[in-house]
Amino acid sequence: MTVDIRNRALQVIARCQRLACFSEDSGSTRRIFLSPPMRDCHHEIATWLEPLDVPVKVDAAGNLRAVYPAAESNAARLLIGSHLDTVPNSGAYDGVLGVILAIALIEELRGQRLPFAIEVVGFSEEEGVRFGAPFIGSRALVGRLDQELLDRRDAQQISVRQAIEDFGLNPAQIPQAELQTDTLGYLEFHIEQGPALENAGQPLGVVEAISGQSRLQFTFLGRANHAGTTPMHLRYDAIAAAAEWITAVERTARGVPDLVATVGSFEAKPGATNVVAAEARLTLDVRHRSDEVRARAVEDLTREADKVAQRRSLSLRHAYMLDEQTTAMDPFLVGQIGEAIEKTGCTPLHMVSGAGHDAMILAEKVPAAMIFLRTPGGISHDPAESVAVDDVEKAISCGVHLLDQLASSAQFQQGTHRA
Ligand code: GLV
Ligand code: MN
Ligand code: MN
């Protein structure tokens, strides 16, 4: 490794930490879709791209877009990026690292132009924190930021459409954010967010597929009553019903290999110590690499929620917020990434991602692929999330080899590798 790449890796980490300061909360990082700190984040990134003569634009879905031109005008483009939004109390690397590594790869070119342009993309929304539905940014690129999603409201009853307008953008221009026919593919660097690379003793992995995921909202509706005067057998307690069901969710997932199911958010009304709860609202997140296993689990858990509600004479509502199938990454790009990782002196670990990523949305329209970086302790979605500088060096080095390989592949540039 050259000293230059070491410094570049240190700079990448420092930039990730810098962006973590742009937050809605003081003392921790939380940056949701089109919140004021997202604007600051865009401005900061623009200052890094300015010396490279790469202007930054924000499309109508709030995605940061910046094109490093090809050697010749009208050449096709390769997208490299990830997302800039975060979960509450997040770490500094989930998503952000992929955007900053894209910039680092352009810097590594030192002005050299490739046969294709590189478009850096910083997606506005991948986590689903503000509106419950994730991938708002990447859905715009594949033409799926539809009316239903635009009408979705956050906890303050602000719709996605309104949030876009409030940020000074025009929802009518969303179609212009869509991928053009000149897009050769999409690459995403991301921390693994799990323990597999660490267990294998490898810094980098190549993602072969991204697990499908279902996200739903369940509401148990009971009846509020006085906590001191209502005998236990006369209660219609929504929290007690929800609790019973949550344990069933955990039991079901533990009983099926590799199935994960999570109740990640819970809200009860009226929410007072001395009132039996009238309403309990929960989210359910279910993932598995087999769509069939995932669909069966959602069916079983929905039936179980119904049973719990009936047994307790409560009513139940449920609605889907997301249903994404398991998505294969582009075999040609997977092969190229494997080769590039080997050139860094490492053995690529072939993996299925349990986490969702923008690449699964982009893959609907263009060849997409991902490179994972080892995540110390497998810790993510937490401020303790980290990445080793050595591994970032390897990632930059892998990216440099990969761009080199793609720049000399007629098959890639002519798109003849596509299935
Ligand atoms: C993204 O972080 C996800 O929930 O997979
Ligand atoms: Mn995340
Ligand atoms: Mn992410």
Query: Ligand 1 atom closest to Cα of 381?
Result: 2
- What's the CATH fold of domain 214-323? Alpha-Beta Plaits (3.30.70)
Question: In the predicted model, what is the mean pLDDT of residues 84-109?
Answer: 98
| Whether the CB of 125 sits within 6 Å of ligand 1 | no
Measuring CA to CA, which residue among 149, 148, 154, 173 is closest to residue 58? 173
Whether residue 416 is predicted with pLDDT greater than 90 in this model: the reply is no
pLDDT given at position 419: 57
- Cβ(370)–Cβ(138) under 8 Å? no
Cα of 223 vs centre of ligand 1, distance in Å, is: 34
Ligand 1 within 6 A of CB of 385? no
Q: How far is the CA of 409 from the centre of ligand 2 (A)?
A: 33
> 240 C-alpha vs ligand 3 centroid, how far in Å?
33
Euclidean distance between CA atoms 175 and 181, whole angstroms: 14
Please, which residues bridge with residue 117 across strands?
Answer: 77
Residue 187 near residue 261 (C-beta atoms within 8 A): no
What's the helix, strand, coil split of the chain in %, to 5?
40, 25, 40
β-pairing verdict for 225-226 and 315-324: unpaired
Ligand 1 atom with least separation from CA of 87? 2
What is the Cα–Cα distance from 55 to 219, expressed in whole angstroms?
Answer: 46
pLDDT, tens digit, 9 for 90 and up, residues 343-368: 999 999 999 999 999 999 999 999 99
Q: How many residues does the chain have?
A: 419
| d(CA 27, ligand 3 centre) in Å | 21
Average pLDDT value for residue range 166-170? 98
Has residue 417 got a pLDDT over 90? no
Which residue ranges make up each domain of the chain? 3-211+326-413, 214-323
Give the tens place of pLDDT for each residue, 374-403. Answer: 999 999 999 999 999 999 999 999 999 999
DSSP state of 92: S
Burial tier of 224 (Cβ tally within 10 Å: 0-12, 13-18, 19+): middle
Ligand 1 centroid–CA 135 distance in Å is: 10
Ligand 1 pocket, residue 355 CB under 6 Å:
yes
pTM summary value:
0.93
Q: Is 3-211+326-413 in CATH node 3.40.630.10? A: yes
CA of 96 to the centre of ligand 2 (A): 10
Return the ligand number nearest the Cα of 380.
Answer: 2
127 pocket-lining for ligand 1 (C-beta < 6 Å):
yes
CA atoms within 13 A on the CB side of 315: 3
Closest to 259 measured CA to CA, from 230, 235, 285 = 285
> Ligand 1: does its nearest atom lie under 6 Å from the Cβ of 91?
no
Pairwise CA distance, residues 240 & 246, whole Å: 10
Model pLDDT, residue 200: 98
Residue with tokens 């070491």: 6
Ligand 2 (ion): residues with CB under 5 Å are 94
In whole angstroms, how far apart are CA 228 and each of 221, 222, 235, 273, 274?
Answer: 20, 17, 12, 10, 7
pLDDT > 60? residue 3: no
Is pLDDT above 60 for 125?
yes
**Is 356 near ligand 1, meaning CB less than 6 Å away?**
yes
Question: What mean pLDDT, rounded, does the chain reach?
Answer: 97
* Cα atoms found within 13 Å of the Cα of residue 330, Cβ hemisphere only: 27
Please give the number of the atom of ligand 1 that sits closest to the Cα of 95.
2
